[in-house]
C-alpha cells in the first residue's frame, strides 16, 4: 500500500541558497597516502575526482538553530510486516522503517530536521537512510526535492519511484522502491544512466543510520578493512585483518564504543557474491541490508565517545538517540573514483529489514564464525538466488511508465530534455524519466531563452543568478556572443564561471574583465577577487573585494560578508573590517560565519569581551572537522592567562590553556579530541 501523508517536525528552515558561485578545487584529485601493506589494486583510482566541486549547484548555508514546526509531504509504503516513510522533498530520505508487529523502529529516526554543514552543498541532516549519488561527500540532493511517482511493479503491487537529473555529473538516476504483500524486505532497485558520449564520475553510497549502543556489533562478509590512519599526513589508509584495527591499538573496531574519536573503516567484501552489512545487539536482534553486485563494499562510521563526538550527536538530533552509520558503496572507499562510460548504465538491487541471529556466535571472538552466524540467519530469509530474482523483476519494470506523478523535483531535468531535443546527436533518455515542462521556473528561464534564441538575456545586477557549467551549455554561451543582445555582462560573467570550472583560469579572468566593461558589477569583481586569492595575490584580491562590496546589493552583500571580512583580516585592515561589520543589517550581522570573523577580528585588536560574546552563541554551520570555535576559545583563554601573569602570550601559556580551559560543550565540534 502506498499513501501520501503530511509529516510535521520541529525543524530549522533551510532558507534561501547562497547566491554566489562556489568554485571547484583547481586540483580535481586528492592526495591520499597509504601504508605499505595496502595492495596495488586498492591504490588504483584512489583520490580520483574527489576534489571539492559544487557548481552548477549553489550552497545551502542559510539555516540556523531556530526550530519551528515544518511540514513535509511524506510517502508511506506499508505491508503486513514493514512500514517505510520517505521524504522526497529531502533527497528521498527514508526517515523511518518500522517493524509493524511490534512497532519497532529499525533505523535511527531523527526527531527533528536540523541541517548541519556536512554535505557537498553544506546542508545535511542525520537519521534514516540517505542515497548519495554524485561526487565524494553527502549528495547534492540530500536537502533538495526529488521527483516521486507511483508505478506498478512486476508482481502487480504499487511501488514508489524516486528520480532526478544530477546536474554536476550529468547523470540520470532512479530508485524503484517496492514492498510486496508478505515481504520482510523493503526492496530498492537503483539505476544510474549516463546518456552522454563522454565518461562521467560515478559515486554511490547508501548511508544507513542505526542506533548506537555498547552491545551493537557491525558485521559484513570481509576478512580485511581499509581503515583511516591518522598518523599519515594528510590522513590516509592502512589495511588490516578484521576485527581488530591498528588505529584503535588493536581493539575490536566493529563496536562503536571502542572509538575515542570520530572514525570509519571500509569492509573489503571482495570474495562474496552476496554483499551485506548488519548491526546486531547483544540479544541477537538488529538490522541488515544486502545487495546484488556491483554494490560490493561496506563501511562503518561513528562519531566516537569523546566530548566533540557526543556533542555532534546531540547537535544533529536534539532529544534523539545516538547513532552509527553502516554504508554500502560501489568502490573500496569513498575516496576511490570510478567512471561510468558514455552511453552506459549501472543497476543493482538492495534490500533492508530486520535480522535475528545467535548472539553468542555474533559477539564471539572468532570473526569468521560471527559472520557465518549472520549469513546463516540471512539465508533463512533471503538467498542469493532470491535476491537475483528481485533484481530481475526490478530490471523488468525499470523502464515502465509511472502511473501518476506524486511530487516534483527541480526544473533542471525538463531543461535538459529540452536541450537534448534540439541536439540531433543526443542519445534518447528512457521514458521513466518524466520531467514536466511545468517544472520550468525562474532559475531555468534565462537558460531556456539561450536555448531558444541563441542569446543569454542580460540580468539586473541585483538579480539572483542560476548557473550551468556543463560543456554543452558553455558552448551555447560562447556562441551567444555573436547574436543580437547576446554580448552583455551576464553572458560574459557566465562564460567566465564555465571556463573556470573547466580549469581555464586565464579565460575566466578575461571573460570577467570584459563583463566589467559592459557593466561594473559586484559579481565580476567578487569572482576576480576569488581568483586572485587563489594565487596568493592578497592585495589584488582585497582591491577587487572592496569594489565588489561597494557595488553589492543587500542580498549579495550578506553572502559576500564572510569572504570580505576574511580578506580584510588577512590584510590586517582590522579597523575597516569593524566598519564593515557595523554597516551590516541585523540579519547579515547575525550570520554564523560573520560572527566567527567578528571574533577573529576582535581577537586581533585585543577586544576580548567581544570574543567572549562571540563564543557565547550557538552555531549551526560549523563544518565537520572544523575547529574554528575551539581554536578561538583556547586563544582567548591564553590571552586571559597572559593578562593575569603580566606577560605576552607564548607557547607555554597556550599549552596551559589547552590543559586547564575545557571549552563549553556547545562550541566543541572537535573530531579527534
What average pLDDT does range 348-366 have in this prediction? 98
Distance, in Å, from the CA atom of 165 to the CA atom of 413, rounded to the nearest integer, reads: 5
Give 561-608 pLDDT, tens digit per residue: 999 999 999 999 999 999 999 999 999 999 999 999 999 999 999 999
Is it the case that residue 630 has pLDDT exceeding 90? yes
DSSP letter (8 states) at residue 667: G
Order of strands across the sheet with 345-356?
217-219, 276-280, 285-291, 345-356, 186-193, 171-178, 158-166, 147-152, 404-407
486 pLDDT exceeds 90? no
Q: At what angle do helices 538-551 and 522-534 cross, to 10 degrees?
A: 160
pLDDT tens digits, one per residue of 381-393: 999 999 999 999 9
CA angle 324, 329, 335 (to 5 degrees): 90
Per-residue model confidence (pLDDT) at position 571: 93
Q: By the 8 A CB rule, do 138 and 145 touch?
A: no
455-458-461 Cα angle (round to 5): 155
- How far is residue 411's CA from residue 172's CA, in Å, rounded to a whole number? 14
pLDDT at 140: 98
Q: Residue 294's CB: how many other CB atoms inside 10 A?
A: 16
H or E segment at 209?
A: strand 204-211
The answer to whether 507 and 499 are in contact (CB under 8 A) is yes
What span, in angstroms and rounded, lies between the C-alpha atoms of 670 and 260?
12
pLDDT digits (tens, 9 = 90+) for 47-100: 999 999 999 999 999 999 999 999 999 999 999 999 999 999 999 999 999 999
Q: Mean pLDDT, the chain, as a whole number?
A: 97
Q: What's the rounded mean pLDDT across residues 211-219? A: 98
Give the cell for residue 398: 525499470
Cβ–Cβ < 8 Å for 220, 289? no
Q: Give the pLDDT confidence of 90-129 residue by residue, as tens digits.
A: 999 999 999 999 999 999 999 999 999 999 999 999 999 9
DSSP string of 118-131, one letter each residue: EETTEEE--SSEEE
Q: Among 248-262, 279-293, 472-486, which is the least confidently predicted range?
A: 472-486
Q: Spell out the domain ranges in the chain.
A: 2-397, 442-519
Of residues 312 and 486, the one with the higher pLDDT is 312
| Spatial CA neighbour of 565 closest among 547, 579, 551 | 579
Answer yes or no: is pLDDT of 364 > 90: yes
Q: Is the pLDDT of residue 673 over 90?
A: no
**Does the pLDDT at position 484 exceed 90?**
no
**DSSP 8-class letter at 554:** H
Query: How confident is the model at residue 485, as a pLDDT?
Result: 83
Residues 6+ apart with CB under 8 A from 571: 538, 539, 542
- Taking the model in full, what pTM does it have? 0.97
pLDDT value, residue 322: 97
CATH of domain 2-397: 2.70.98.10
Q: Cell for 73?
A: 509531504
Q: Residue 649 CA to chain centroid, in angstroms?
A: 39
Q: Which helix (H) or strand (E) holds 547?
A: helix 538-551
Task: Give the DSSP letter string of 316-354.
Answer: HSTTS--EEEEEEESSSSTTB-EEE-TT-EEEEEEEEEE
Local confidence band at 431 (pLDDT 50, 70, 90 cut-offs): very high
CA geometry: angle 412, 417, 421, nearest 5 deg:
150
Amino acid at each position: 500500500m502506498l499513501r501520501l501523508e503530511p509529516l510535521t517536525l520541529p525543524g530549522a528552515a533551510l532558507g534561501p541558497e547562497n547566491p554566489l558561485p562556489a568554485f571547484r578545487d583547481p586540483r580535481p584529485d586528492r592526495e591520499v597516502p597509504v601504508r605499505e601493506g595496502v595492495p596495488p589494486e586498492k591504490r588504483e583510482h584512489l583520490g580520483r575526482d574527489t576534489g571539492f566541486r559544487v557548481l552548477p549547484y549553489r550552497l545551502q548555508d542559510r539555516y540556523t538553530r531556530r526550530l519551528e514546526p515544518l511540514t513535509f509531504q511524506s510517502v508511506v509504503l506499508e505491508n503486513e510486516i514493514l512500514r517505510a516513510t520517505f521524504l522526497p522533498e529531502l533527497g528521498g530520505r527514508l526517515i523511518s522503517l518500522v517493524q509493524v508487529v511490534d512497532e519497532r523502529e529499525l533505523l535511527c529516526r531523527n526527531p527533528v530536521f536540523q541541517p548541519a554543514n556536512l554535505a557537498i552543498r553544506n546542508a545535511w541532516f542525520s537519521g534514516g537512510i540517505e542515497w548519495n549519488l554524485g561526487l565524494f561527500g553527502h549528495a547534492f540532493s540530500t536537502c533538495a526535492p526529488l521527483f516521486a511517482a507511483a508505478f506498478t511493479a512486476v508482481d502487480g503491487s504499487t511501488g514508489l519511484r524516486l528520480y532526478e537529473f544530477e546536474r554536476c555529473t550529468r547523470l540520470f538516476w532512479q530508485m524503484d522502491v517496492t514492498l510486496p504483500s508478505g515481504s520482510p524486505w523493503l526492496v530498492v532497485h537503483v539505476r544510474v544512466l549516463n546518456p552522454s558520449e563522454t565518461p562521467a564520475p560515478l559515486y554511490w553510497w547508501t548511508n544507513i543510520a542505526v542506533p548506537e549502543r555498547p552491545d551493537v556489533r557491525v558485521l559484513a562478509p570481509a576478512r580485511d578493512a581499509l581503515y583511516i590512519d591518522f598518523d599519515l599526513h594528510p590522513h590516509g589508509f592502512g589495511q588490516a585483518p578484521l576485527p581488530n584495527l591498528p588505529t584503535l591499538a588493536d581493539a575490536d573496531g566493529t563496536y562503536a564504543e571502542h572509538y575515542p574519536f570520530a572514525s570509519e573503516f571500509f569492509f573489503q567484501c571482495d570474495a562474496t557474491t552476496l554483499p551485506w552489512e548488519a548491526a546486531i545487539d547483544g540479544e541477537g536482534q538488529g538490522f541488515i541490508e544486502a545487495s546484488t553486485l556491483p554494490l560490493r563494499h561496506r563501511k562503518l562510521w561513528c562519531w566516537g565517545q569523546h566530548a566533540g563526538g557526543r556533542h555532534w550527536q546531540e547537535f544533529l538530533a536534539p532529544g534523539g538517540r545516538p547513532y552509527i552509520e553502516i554504508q554500502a558503496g560501489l568502490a573500496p572507499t569513498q575516496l576511490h573514483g570510478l567512471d561510468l562510460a558514455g552511453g552506459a548504465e549501472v543497476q543493482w538491487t538492495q534490500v533492508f529489514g530486520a535480522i535475528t541471529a545467535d548472539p553468542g556466535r555474533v559477539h564471539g571472538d572468532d570473526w569468521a564464525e560471527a559472520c557465518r552466524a549472520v549469513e546463516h540467519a540471512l539465508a533463512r530469509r533471503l538467498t542469493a538466488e532470491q535476491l537475483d530474482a528481485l533484481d530481475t523483476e526490478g530490471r523488468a519494470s525499470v523502464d515502465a511508465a509511472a502511473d501518476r506523478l506524486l511530487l516534483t523535483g527541480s526544473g533542471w531535468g525538463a531543461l535538459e530534455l529540452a536541450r537534448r531535443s534540439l541536439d540531433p546527436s543526443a542519445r534518447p533518455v528512457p521514458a521513466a524519466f518524466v520531467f514536466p515542462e511545468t517544472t520550468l521556473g525562474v532559475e531555468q528561464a534565462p537558460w531556456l531563452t539561450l536555448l531558444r534564441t541563441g542569446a543569454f538575456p542580460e540580468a539586473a545586477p541585483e538579480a539572483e543568478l542560476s548557473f550551468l557549467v556543463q560543456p554543452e551549455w558553455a558552448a551555447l554561451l560562447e556562441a551567444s556572443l555573436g547574436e543580437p543582445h547576446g554580448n552583455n555582462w551576464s553572458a560574459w560573467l557566465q562564460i567566465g564561471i564555465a571556463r573556470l570550472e573547466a580549469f581555464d583560469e586565464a579565460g575566466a579572468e578575461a571573460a570577467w574583465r570584459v563583463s566589467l566593461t559592459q557593466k561594473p558589477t559586484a559579481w565580476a569583481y567578487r569572482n576576480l577577487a576569488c581568483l586572485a586569492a587563489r594565487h596568493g595575490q592578497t592585495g589584488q584580491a582585497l582591491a577587487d573585494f572592496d569594489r565588489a562590496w561597494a557595488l553589492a546589493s543587500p542580498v549579495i552583500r550578506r553572502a559576500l560578508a564572510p569572504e570580505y571580512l576574511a580578506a580584510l583580516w588577512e590584510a590586517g585592515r582590522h579597523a575597516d573590517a569593524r566598519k564593515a561589520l557595523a554597516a551590516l543589517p541585523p540579519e547579515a550581522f547575525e550570520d554564523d560565519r560573520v560572527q566567527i570573523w567578528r571574533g577573529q577580528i576582535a581577537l586581533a585588536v585585543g577586544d576580548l569581551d567581544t570574543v567572549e560574546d562571540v563564543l557565547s552563541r550557538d552555531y549551526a554551520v560549523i563544518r565537520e572537522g572544523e575547529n574554528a570555535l575551539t581554536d578561538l576559545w583556547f586563544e582567548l583563554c591564553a590571552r586571559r592567562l597572559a593578562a593575569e601573569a603580566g606577560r605576552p602570550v607564548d607557547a607555554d601559556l597556550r599549552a596551559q590553556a589547552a590543559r586547564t580551559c575545557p571549552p563549553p560543550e556547545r562550541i566543541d565540534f572537535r573530531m579527534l579530541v
